[in-house]
Amino acid sequence: MPTFKVTLAYDGTDFVGWQRQASGVSVQGLLENALRELDGRDVPVAGAGRTDAGVHALGQVAGFSLLRSLSADAVMRALNARLPDSVRVLASEETLETFHPRFGARAKHYRYRIWNGPVVNPFERRYAWHIYEPLDVEAMDAAARIVEGSHDFAAFQASGSAAKTTTRQIFVSRIADCGLRIGFGPESAFHSESAFRDPQSAILVYDVAGDGFLRHMVRTIVGTLVEVGRGRQRSEWMAEVIASGDRAAAGPTAPPEGLFLVGVEY
Amino acid sequence: MPTFKVTLAYDGTDFVGWQRQASGVSVQGLLENALRELDGRDVPVAGAGRTDAGVHALGQVAGFSLLRSLSADAVMRALNARLPDSVRVLASEETLETFHPRFGARAKHYRYRIWNGPVVNPFERRYAWHIYEPLDVEAMDAAARIVEGSHDFAAFQASGSAAKTTTRQIFVSRIADCGLRIGFGPESAFHSESAFRDPQSAILVYDVAGDGFLRHMVRTIVGTLVEVGRGRQRSEWMAEVIASGDRAAAGPTAPPEGLFLVGVEY
């Protein structure tokens, strides 16, 4: 049976998440429905990362096998014709039958966006966490770098989870002020002169890549970083939170709309 | 009576346009409803540009006078508290009673975005015109530059319009390939290595600034540029279309979702 690896982007705003649920629209469910039409039977689809309700993807990876003999390109076109425009297959390739998007992943890259300023630009309202008070980005970045390396991240796991091991290796964990942006950013030479700019606002972008992530781990790291950014804790507190292994020691879980699964490496 | 100049951004997707209509939600209507609540009476609001249904704004300017004595900052906060999050007041200042956002404007800047590639990224679906076939951007830019200067733009006016004069001065008219972008673009140092990139797609950004625009003028210029980009016409054709003064000679009207009112100068 030909097996396919597809790369997907989706706007998670209106979904219950990646995973099929008892009710509500899921990305996995949309894909499985489209593939049932295509292959005339139930086609189970596996995803690299189980993004939660409201979380977005720029490069989710899914895998499935078909009975029908189709080219990778035909699979992509057929899926895009059947999916809503909030979900797009960006790439498709035939792969080994043993391919599993989750178990085979070497690294995953997530991004979390914070709109830091008094008024959220309307084009960002679904794609960033809005924090009014100015954040200390340098202190947040110092805390973020403490996350790099191999650690037991039990303190950052959603309560009630039962992962076999809570140790993960984090390759990159950084946050930066990506400058003043209004709408679509510095796309053109004319932008800087002409577009209205809000000097009180900034987009903070947290990038984290690792060999795996626990449930809510990225959002809880971000909630912890924001405690530091607000000046409630010092950067070094991050090390204490990690060492505690206690979810109650960490910051709150950041809201889903700021989170993106950027890509997966195999 | 204190008079205010406010700068607004809005996601035009769900509006019938700037101007209040017999039915449907307009940005002017939302502002007037909010100001009625604030000032206890009907407050007429004038806007710098009457954006059509589905057209967005990064820096629309509106003006109005209030009976109540409020600071410019309080007006901004009160409006943002009453408006949906798809419309935001980004700046507010008190100005002369003689201020009129449309008649006083020295220059307006519009931007038109084209997603050129086989698959539209879901985050761009409401904010760009999707054109599948590759466009010749150099030829389009050569045509765009012919628009610069003072010309009679009768050929680019929506049929049925009755502007007193159809001559406008265009200060800048340029289109450029803004590179491969997925979602939110090169915001961070990690983006280029890790994010999935679609080598077949590009965002083309057309920027145009002038002393005024006729109804549908920007969208018809873009429709005409796309005819050149598709290879159906040569760049020099733009001069012929302008000279004709005939709407039927120009290209089709580009769809509204790609258009943004970027800013207004006084």
Catalytic residue among B42, B52, B136, B177: B52
Residues in B 123-162 with any Cβ partner in A closer than 8 A = 123, 125, 127
pLDDT reported for residue B198 = 59
Say what the pLDDT of residue A13 is. Answer: 96
Q: What is the rounded CA–CA span in Å between residue A155 and residue A244? A: 7
Between CA A75 and CA A70 the distance in angstroms is 6
Q: With contacts defined as CB-CB under 8 Å, which chain B residues touch A7?
A: 196
Outline where DSSP puts E strands in chain A: 3-10, 46-47, 56-65, 87-95, 107-116, 129-131, 149-152, 167-177, 202-210, 259-265
The SS3 call for residue B114 is: strand
Distances, alpha carbon B46 to alpha carbons A120, B86, B138, in Å: 24, 19, 38
Q: Across the interface, do B58 and A88 touch by the CB < 8 Å criterion?
A: no
Of the partner residues B11, B89, B263, the one whose CB lies closest to the CB of residue A194: B263
Q: Determine the pLDDT at residue A183.
A: 40
b/e per residue B113-149 (b: at least 16 CB within 10 A): bbbbbbbbbbbbbbbbbbbeeebebebbbbbbbbbbe
The answer to whether A262 contacts B198, with C-beta atoms less than 8 Å apart, is no
Chain A neighbours among B 46-65 (CB < 8 Å)? 56, 58-59
Q: Which of A170, A187, A193, A260 is the best mutation test for B, with the most CBs of B within 10 A?
A: A187
Q: Locate tokens 């490069």: which residue? A: A59
Listed by number, the residues of chain A in 169-228 with a beta carbon closer than 8 Å to a beta carbon of chain B are 172, 174, 176, 178, 182-185, 187-191, 194-196, 198, 203, 205, 207, 209
Looking at the partner chain, which of B11, B178, B263 has a beta carbon nearest the beta carbon of A195?
B263
* DSSP helix/strand/coil, A207: strand
pLDDT in tens, chain A (266 residues): 899 999 999 999 999 999 999 999 999 999 999 999 999 999 999 999 999 999 999 999 999 999 999 999 999 999 999 999 999 999 999 999 999 999 999 999 999 999 999 898 898 899 999 999 999 999 999 999 999 999 999 999 988 877 789 999 999 999 998 754 444 333 333 333 334 455 677 889 999 999 999 999 999 999 999 999 999 999 999 999 999 999 999 999 999 999 999 999 99
Best B60, B109, B205, B262 residue to mutate vs chain A (most A CBs within 10 Å): B262
Nearest CA in chain A to B172: A190
Cβ-contact A234, A139 below 8 angstroms = yes
The rounded average pLDDT for each run of 10 residues, N- to C-terminus, in chain B (266 residues) is 95 96 96 97 96 95 96 97 96 95 93 92 91 96 98 93 89 84 38 48 90 96 98 98 97 97 93
- Indicate if A14 belongs to the active site: no
Nearest-Cα residue of chain B relative to residue A84: B122
- pTM for the complete prediction? 0.90
